[in-house]
Amino acid sequence: MTRHLIALTLALGGLVAHAGEAQAPSPSPAQEAESILGAETMGVAIYRHERAIAAATEAVLKLPAFQRDPRVQGWITEELGDSIAVTYVDRTPSALYRVTVAIADNEIRDVTTFDVPSRLSPFEAGAAGARQLAMRSAFEPCSEQYNAVVLPAEAVDTPRRWVVYLLPAATSHKVVPLGGTYRVITEGPAVLAQRGFTRTCLALRQDPRAAGLYLTHVMDATPTEAHVFWSLWARQPMYVGTPDGKVWAVHKGRINRTGPDAAKG
């Protein structure tokens, strides 16, 4: 059991516990702190895995066999110490390719091509099933293509509960496709919960002259893991206004109050 896995479990528990409290005008300081910590932890985890997927995909696209392989239906990830294994699967699901990526610097450590589709481990099979379930769930897409990051929601070796983040595929690094980002929680063959992080297909345009990205967010009292992830992805601070008039700075995986009254809480 890894430190990251325990942290993710605790963070997700806090986010789900307060998911229905978004319209509360005055969350307690403890609730606010718990929501912020959960958003930071999960947002950084999404980014860590999405970054590994991007590096792994760049590596396998150099393989002629992968480029013409119609069997590939997606990928799953597993954090293994200081690296992340990205496994590309078919419909069954079985493993077709596996790339190991260093977490620290995204260096490719190993690329494996399976001549015969390889059986998935129980962890991988659970993640693949959760991915398929989430991708088939009823959500309003904001992009023709979606990427998925699947994380365990339980600190055990073979979890039954998973959290899947559905991320609209970006067509340009100049546009941040925040709208259409979803979180889906699954257990076995069932979807337990689902939420979107915006009410519209919101897309933020990057301006190199601006100090950061700015938006108002009326669904929660504090910024979410979606804001943390997309800020990291954009490599830009994101300033988020919430219904109580507060403005939050989301930058480098952290969420902090900003403005003249920030120190007052």
Q: What is the DSSP string of 147-202?
A: EEEEEESSSSSS-SEEEEEEEEPPS-TTEE--TT-EEEEEETTEEEEEEES-SS--
**What single DSSP character describes residue 246?**
-
pLDDT tens, position by position, 43-94: 999 999 999 999 999 999 999 999 999 999 999 999 999 999 999 999 999 9
Closest by CA to 194, choosing from 186, 202, 183, is: 183
pLDDT for the residue 21: 44
pLDDT at 1 over 60: no
Query: What predicted TM-score, i.e. pTM, was given to this entire model?
Result: 0.91
Mean pLDDT computed over 228-250: 96
Mean pLDDT computed over 211-239: 96
The domains of the chain are located at 3-199
pLDDT at 231 over 80: yes
Q: What angle do the packed helices 29-60 and 3-17 form, to 10 degrees?
A: 130
pLDDT tens, position by position, 127-171: 999 999 999 999 999 999 999 999 999 988 889 999 999 999 998
Please, is 138 exposed, middle or buried when counting C-beta atoms within 10 Å of its C-beta (0-12, 13-18, 19+)?
A: exposed
The Cβ-side half-sphere exposure at 36, using a 13 Å CA radius, reads 18
Name, in order, each residue with C-beta under 8 angstroms of 263's C-beta and a sequence gap of 6 or more. 257
pLDDT at 102 over 70: yes
